[in-house]
Each structure stands twice: as C-alpha cells, then as structure tokens.
Amino acid sequence: MKKGANQTYDLIILDVMLPIMDGFEVCQHLHQQGMQTPILMLTAKDEVDEKVRGLELGADDYWTKPFEFKELLARIQALRRRRRALDLVAVIQVADLILDKTTHEVRRDNKLLNSIDAKRVCDPRIFDRECWTRSES
C-alpha cells in the first residue's frame, strides 16, 4: 500500500476481497494520503451498498465480476482520459487560494505567497482534502 501512495500510476485496479486489509480500507487510506491516481474497483461483491461504499470512499469506478475484457479495457481508457484532462488544467482555485501550475505561483487573497508557504500549500496531501474548482488559464 505504501507504493500506491508514494508512486505515480496511471490507474489502480483494486479488488475488495484482499487478505490483510480489504479494498475499501486500501482505497480510503490511499485517498487520505493524497493519492490522486484513479481507482477502478473490480470485485465479486455486487451488492448496491458495496458499490456505493466503494465510490463514496474514493473509487472512480466500481465494476463487478464476471466481466467482459473488452468493456474492462474501455473503462480503463475512459478513466485514463479523464485523468489526462485534469493534468491539462493550468490553474486550480480553492476559495481564495490560486495555484498556477504554469508559473508555479501560489496566491492567497491575490497576494503571492513566499516559497515556504507555497511548498506547504502545494503538498497534495493538504491540497486534495479541499473541494477543487478548476479554471482554464
């Protein structure tokens, strides 16, 4: 699980029924650690409550077994497309905080933050906990 939080992946395919910690706990932990990689839960647990739980804990998609491989590939490609679209966003704004990924500037109340404050604000574990509003520059 440490690899999931500390590495960059295009997508994580996660089963719910894991031996030590179930997939719900893994999903929740990864998101609490600031991991932004899309998660596709692929599992035999097909109850509606299980699906809702997985999505509420941070999964981007929840799909049950058995499955058709062709559809699995299509779902993977769709999740990767959404992720790439988010990477193209140049300016991220949360309330009065603005992060410009092009200029690497961070502003709060329209005032440029110093580099120490900017590094703290840009920490994804801190930033991901907020509700993001995306705007194009």
pLDDT in tens, 7-25: 677 889 999 999 889 999 9
Angle at 61 between CA 67 and CA 55, to 5 degrees: 125
- The pTM score is 0.58
- CB 44, CB 65: distance < 8 Å: yes
Mean pLDDT of 73-92: 76
